[in-house]
Amino acid sequence: MKIYTLRIVYNDKTGELKSLDEIIEEDEAPISITASPHVMEAIAKADLIEQLLVSHPGESVGEA
């Protein structure tokens, strides 16, 4: 999930835009893959480990 915050500081008396700030926060829970040795081997042979985890920082991969 991403949280987007846009902060606008505007002087309505003068019509002047003082500042415009955009803040993007990413709230990502780490994932975990736990599988049997047979499944982990199949994932590795298919070269899918990177595709499964590349967009998930803080991951944990292991065999059950």
Which comes out higher in pLDDT, residue 17 or 62?
A: 17
In this model, does residue 11 exceed pLDDT 80?
yes
Longest dimension (CA), the chain: 69
Give me the pLDDT at residue 64, please.
Answer: 46
Residue-wise pLDDT for 15-58, tens only, equals 999 999 988 887 766 666 677 888 888 888 888 877 776 665 55
Number of domains making up the chain: 1
Do 55 and 26 contact (CB within 8 A), yes or no?
Answer: no
Find, among 1, 45, 8, 40, the residue nearest to 24 by Cα. Answer: 1
Domain region containing 46: 2-63
- pLDDT for residue 60 is more than 60: no
What pTM did the predictor assign? 0.36
